[in-house]
């Protein structure tokens, strides 16, 4: 059993247009709504991969109720904290001829006094059957910058390891609570260290630095179609994604987290955890819009992923 936490969920409004052009009226050939936010996306994929989970999040207003309806349609189990602020709507516009995307992320509504405390109180009593806790993404306006650290500390105090997928100050703050695993992409890793991360050696050195400081046990850095690196105290694994047609990159990282969680819950070794993450992330880019990893695609890609162990420096 796993809980995912999304502090700033969304409804994603997805439009598909023949071409992208500024200062012109674009006629969408297709438009639809899907649930969004890192933790919610992880829960959507875990549900498809037959992994028991519950999505926790803040949700409010008519859009919050709409988000619940969308998740019910996907049979995703959730337990939301109601807020007075309405859940945000993001816009994702896809150019059908190239599959390039314009993504506009809304900030989210402002939390009221006491609503952050409701989440902190909820985290004090996590069900005993929960084995892992996955969290990340951006923060709703009104949340204190230290909330990510506090959440991880309270989860760990109950003996539950955490997986953090975040960026910028949220990642920096969360690392102070020493999660089990983080999953920055190359650009997020560069922002964390404040310098270019240009090659394999840079990635490995950055991951090993965080581990040696005692901030995290496992660092997974994704490089899109180039694959990913998994770095721990004793191992460095590299896996390359097989070549597949790319229809959308939205949610590929969230799908990768879900794949790795499936491996962790099965007590797989870290090489297989990475393999399952790559399979889920690759399966996600094969689907249009924000449809994420499907079980059929995951099972198709999994045997095609090759994991290589690199020599520790």
pLDDT tens digits, one per residue of 4-60:
999 999 999 999 999 999 899 999 998 999 999 999 999 999 999 999 999 999 999
Stretch 211-235: mean pLDDT: 93
Quick one: pLDDT at residue 313? Answer: 57
Quick one: pLDDT at residue 227? Answer: 81
Stretch 108-117: mean pLDDT: 91
Quick one: pLDDT at residue 312? Answer: 64
pLDDT bracket for residue 236 (50, 70, 90): very high
With tokens 């539950």, the residue in question is 160
291 Cβ neighbours under 8 A, 6+ residues apart: 34, 248, 251, 284
Quick one: pLDDT at residue 98? Answer: 87
Alpha helices in the chain (DSSP H): 38-48, 61-73, 115-123, 147-156, 168-175, 186-193, 200-212, 252-265, 270-285, 295-301
Q: Does residue 246 have a pLDDT over 60?
A: yes
Q: Does residue 290 have a pLDDT over 80?
A: no
| pTM metric for this prediction | 0.95
Q: Does residue 100 have a pLDDT over 80?
A: yes
| Tens digit of each residue's pLDDT (9 = 90 or more) over 161-213 | 999 999 999 999 999 999 999 999 999 999 999 999 988 999 999 999 999 99
Question: Which of these CATH numbers, 3.30.70.240, 3.40.190.100, 1.25.40.10, 3.40.1190.20, describes 2-7+38-87+114-310?
Answer: 3.40.1190.20
Q: Does residue 225 have a pLDDT over 90?
A: no
Query: First CA to last CA across the chain, in angstroms?
Result: 36
Quick one: pLDDT at residue 285? Answer: 92
C-alpha span between 266 and 259 (Å, rounded): 11
Query: Distances from the Cα of 220 to the Cαs of 23, 232, 306, in angstroms?
Result: 40, 9, 16
Mean pLDDT of the chain: 94
Query: Distances from the Cα of 159 to the Cαs of 57, 130, 132, 155, 176, in angstroms?
Result: 21, 10, 9, 7, 17
């Amino acid at each position: 059993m796993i809980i995912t936490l999304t502090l700033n969920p969304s409804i994603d409004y997805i439009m598909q247009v023949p071409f992208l052009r500024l200062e012109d009226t674009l006629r969408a050939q297709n438009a639809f709504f899907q649930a969004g936010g890192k933790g919610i996306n992880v829960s959507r994929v875990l549900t498809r991969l037959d992994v028991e989970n519950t999505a926790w999040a803040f949700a409010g207003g008519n859009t919050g109720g709409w988000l619940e309806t969308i998740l019910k349609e996907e049979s995703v189990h959730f337990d939301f904290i109601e807020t007075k602020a309405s859940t945000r709507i993001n816009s994702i516009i896809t150019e059908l001829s190239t599959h390039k995307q314009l993504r506009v992320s809304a900030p989210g509504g402002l939390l009221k006094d006491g609503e952050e405390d409701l989440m902190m109180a909820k985290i004090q009593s996590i069900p005993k059957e929960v084995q892992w806790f996955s969290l990340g993404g951006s923060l709703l306006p009104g949340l204190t910058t230290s909330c990510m650290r506090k959440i991880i500390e309270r989860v760990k105090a109950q003996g539950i390891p955490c997986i953090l997928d975040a960026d910028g100050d949220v990642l920096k703050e969360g690392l102070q609570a020493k999660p089990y695993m983080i999953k920055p992409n190359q650009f997020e890793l560069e922002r964390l260290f404040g310098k270019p991360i240009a090659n394999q050696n840079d990635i490995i050195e950055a991951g090993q630095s965080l581990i040696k400081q005692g901030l995290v046990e496992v660092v997974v850095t994704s490089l899109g179609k180039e694959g990913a690196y998994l770095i721990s105290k004793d191992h460095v694994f590299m896996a390359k994604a097989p070549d597949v047609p790319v229809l959308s990159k939205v949610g590929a990282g969230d799908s990768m987290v879900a794949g790795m969680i499936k491996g962790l819950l099965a007590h797989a070794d870290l090489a297989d955890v990475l393999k399952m993450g790559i399979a889920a992330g690759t399966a996600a880019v094969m689907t249009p819009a924000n449809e994420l990893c499907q079980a059929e695609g995951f099972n198709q890609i999994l045997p095609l992923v090759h994991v290589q162990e690199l020599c520790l420096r």
